[in-house]
Structures are given as structure tokens and as C-alpha cells.
Amino acid sequence: MEINYDSILFRKLVKSIQIFYQMKKLYILFWFVVFACFNSYGQNLKGGGEKYPDLHTNESSLQYWRALRFGMFVHWGPVSLKGTEIGWSRGNPVPFEEYDNLYKKFDPENFNAAEWVGLMKDAGMKYLIFVSKHHDGFVMWDTKTTDYNIMSTPYGRDVLMDLSMECEKQGILFGTYYSICDWRHPDYPVEHNNPQRRENANMDNYIKYMKAQLKELVETYHTKILWFDGEWEEPWTHEMGMDLYKYVRSLDDEILINNRVDKGRQGMEGVSLSDKFAGDFATPEQQVGRFDLLTPWESCITICQQWAWKPNDKMKSTEECLQTLVRTVGGDGNLLFNVGPMPDGIIEDRQADRLREMGAWLKDYGAAIYETKGGPIQPQTWGVSTSRGKKIYLHVLKPVKEIILPNLSGEILGIRSMTDDTEIVFDSGGLGVVIKLPKIKKNVIDYVLELSLK
């Protein structure tokens, strides 16, 4: 059949196809707007909560930390000898008596702080949160407050001091995790895996004990972040949370404190109920937080399944690890990525290798991650965006042929594929910006486009 390209019918056909595509674009743009309105939620955490309305988050510490975007979380202790979960396995499956005596065999003779911190640097991580005391109450530093600490192990060396000094030396921001609940301490009223309440427990005494420990962490170890946890239990109250926040800030006004110091956290999404609650940032757990430009947040996620070391624990793929980082930053959050070192003090080779793979990727694409903000475009089915100054980075995590963006606030001067190092064709006339993508190779984890704005 011969086609008459000038025929009315043919022109009508072309016109309707064009309208269809315009409608499709309009439809996509419509959803951009809807997402923009509803997807950005949450509260601006401000610091001291309703009791101390004038005690604001230290803004310069906050800015500094947010720009780092990627940190290492370390869950470690005598429990690694069993390979079960830290804190939670005390009493079940590890009997209380056995768990509480593990420290007598804890001798991580291959621990080397310089190697750990060197690995963080190779991985492109910029800060550390080390578990200084978990729910099991074992203290990982040379404390004056109890003998149940690292100095009573056969190893007998202050690992926290080694880490603090090494971080300082290698330029890594040093922070500590500290559990509010302490299931072993006689003054803390409840114990996981044991329905019996401690009759003679005394919260006032327990708070004094905590404050003495926190003073050591701040004044002797110079922790710059206090990452609280275990706040959900009944003996801990909103009032106590706000007071503890204030106490820590009185020791060092530059410290950042997560929202788990108080009672406002909403489950695993980690966002606080309102700014009545104390805390400087929100803490989504084992999930990427929601796009939120108002509330500072950090997702804590494990490289394997368990927080503490577990033999042959299932490990995440390189793709999952990197895409988790990219999605987190695209939502305007930080990623605190957890490893569990082995009982001898070594971080498993396969975990270390995975981290180095992340670091190698960050060497090439760090400009699209560090010191960026999430957005301005909401997370999409194809991926996320980040931005810094006059640059916008599009992270294409699922290959598509074309990306349509709403009109941006600045004129686009050019688009470069960081992945292929080529210029990318785009059309910014009309409704929005249409970017045609070349065929993306299968093994590309994140196809990164750099948009330069006027």
C-alpha cells in the first residue's frame, strides 16, 4: 500500500500521536507536582524539645555532618564470640549467665584501629558511629563507672581510645552509639527475655550512672555525635529524654544528638512525632528514609542481616549497597552503613571488599554525592536526583529511554553523562525538559547525568 504523506488522514494521525505524547508528558508532570506536595513531610527537629525551646540544634555541626553523607556504624563486643545478635540474644538463645561471662574470653588480638579507619577511608566513609555500650550493658571503653568493661577482658586494651585517636589522625568524624536501656544493670528496672521486673531498681541512680559514662565519652573520648538507642522502653520518659539532651549539650555544645534520646520516634520510619521532642536528626532503620528537605535524617542499614557479626550472614550485593546510598542521598539523608567485626578484631574480607567497591565508585561519582542536597526532583521510578550549587545530578537507577523533568528554576546550559563522558541531547522547549538517554549497559549501577544550570 502506498502512503500519501500529504493526505489529511495521515496528518491527522501524526497530530493525534503528538497529542498523545503531550498528554503523556502532562500526565507525568502532574504526578511530579502531586509528589512534590505530599511527599515532603516531617518536622524540623530543633534540639531540646518543648522543655528547652531556646536550646537549638548546633547549626554548624549539623551542616558539617550532613555534607559528609556516608558513615560507618560498628556493632561489636564479646557477643561476637557467639555470632548471635548483640543485646537481644542475651537470655535467648544465649543463657544470661553465659552471655554475661563472654567478656572473660574476649581477646580481639588482631584489632587494629588504623586498619579499620583506613578501610572507612577506602570506602569513602566520612564518619564513624561505634557502639560503646549496647543493651547488654557491656562497656567498650576504660570507664571508671563499672568493671564490666573492655579492660576486664583478656585483651585489656581501650579500643575506644584507639578508635577516637585514629579517627582524629585520619580525618574521620568520631561518634558513639550509647544504649539508654541496660538489661543487665541492677538499677535499670526491666530486662529483655525476662518477664520479672527488678524490685530494687532505681532509675535516679541509673541516670547518674549514665551521666557519668556520657561525661567520659564526651570529655575523654571527644565523641562528636551521641547516637542514643533503646529509648522505647517504659522506664524512659519524655522528660528524661529532654533532660538528657540538655545534659549532653551542656558538656559540649557542638555535639549532635539523634532523636532516640527522647520518646518521639515513630517506629522504623524513625521520624519524630513533632518538635516537642528532643533531638537533632531522625533515624530511619533498615530502610531508606522518605524524601524530606525539612528534617535532617540518617538511615542506619546493615551490610548483612545482623547488626553484630554472624558467620555466613547473607550480604547485600554491590548494586544494593550503592543504590541504597544513592537513594538515601537523593532523599536528602545520610547513610550510616553497619558492619559487624569478628571476635578476633578483623572486619571480614568479603565485607571489606564490598566497602572498597563502594569507595571505588565514589572516587568517580563522589561529586554527585558528597556535599549535595537531595532533589530538587522528587524520587522517581527511574531514580533520584541530588544537587549542589549550579549542578543537578540525575541518578538513573533503572534504565529508561527518556526522562521528562518539570521546568527547572535555572536554564540548562548542558547535560553531560558522567558514566559515558558524553554530551547528552535534551529539549527544554515547552512543558518541561525532555532528556533522551543512550542505551545504558546492563552492569551500570547508577547512570549519572550532570546538568549544568545557568
In the complex, least distance from residue 70 CB atom to ligand GLC, rounded to whole angstroms: 16
Kindly give the residue spans of alpha helices, DSSP state H, lying in 253-344: 318-330
CB of 261 to ligand GLC, least distance (A): 13
For ligand GLC, the closer CB: 88 or 106: 88
Phi then psi for residue 348, to 5 deg, are: -40, 140
Integer Cα distance of 232 and 224 in angstroms: 23
Give the nearest distance from C-beta 219 to ligand GLC in angstroms: 24
Given the complex with ligand GLC, which of 226 and 403 has the nearer CB atom? 226
Long-range contacts formed by 417-424: CB under 8 A, 24+ apart: 417/447, 417/448, 417/449, 417/450, 418/364, 418/365, 418/367, 418/368, 418/393, 418/448, 418/449, 418/450, 419/444, 419/446, 419/447, 419/448, 424/449
Length of the chain: 454
Among residues 127 and 447, whose Cβ is nearest to ligand GLC? 127
Say if CB 297 and CB 280 are below 8 A apart: no
Which phi and psi angles does 266 have, rounded to 5°? -100, 90
Torsion of CA 30, 31, 33, 37, to 10 degrees: 140
Nearer to ligand GLC, 41 or 232 (CB): 232
CB of 31 to ligand GLC, least distance (A): 33
Closest CB to ligand GLC among 75 and 246? Answer: 75
Residue 218 corresponds to which cell in the numbers above?
Answer: 564526651
Applying CB under 6 A, the residues found at the interface with ligand GLC are 75, 86-87, 229, 285, 300, 307
Instruction: Output the smallest distance, CB 349 to ligand GLC, in A.
Output: 24
Q: How far is the CB of 73 from ligand GLC (least distance, A)?
A: 7
Q: In angstroms, what CA-CA distances link 292 with 282, 286, 392?
A: 11, 17, 17
Quote the least distance from Cβ 307 to ligand GLC, whole Å: 5
62-to-198, 269, 289, 334 alpha-carbon distances in Å: 39, 20, 18, 12
Peptide bond into 189 cis (omega under 30): no
Calpha distance 240→236 (Å, rounded): 7
3-state helix, strand, coil in the chain (%, to 5): 35, 20, 45
* Closest separation in Å from C-beta 88 to ligand GLC: 6
> How many C-alpha atoms does 185 have within 13 Å on its Cβ side?
27
**Nearest approach, Cβ of residue 308 and ligand GLC (Å):** 8
CB 129 within 8 A of CB 176: yes
Nearer to ligand GLC, 86 or 403 (CB): 86
Q: Which residue is nearest to ligand GLC (CB)?
A: 300
At residue 409, the 3 state secondary structure works out as coil
Quote the longest CA-to-CA distance of the chain: 96
Minimum CB separation of residue 297 from ligand GLC in Å reads 13
Q: Tell me the closest approach of the beta carbon of residue 232 to ligand GLC, in angstroms.
A: 8
Q: Which is nearer to ligand GLC, 268 or 425 (CB)?
A: 268
Smaller CB separation from ligand GLC, 191 or 229 = 229
Closer residue to ligand GLC, CB minimum distance, 270 or 331:
270
E strand residue ranges, 161-210 = 173-179
CA–CA gap between residue 454 and residue 448 (Å, rounded): 20
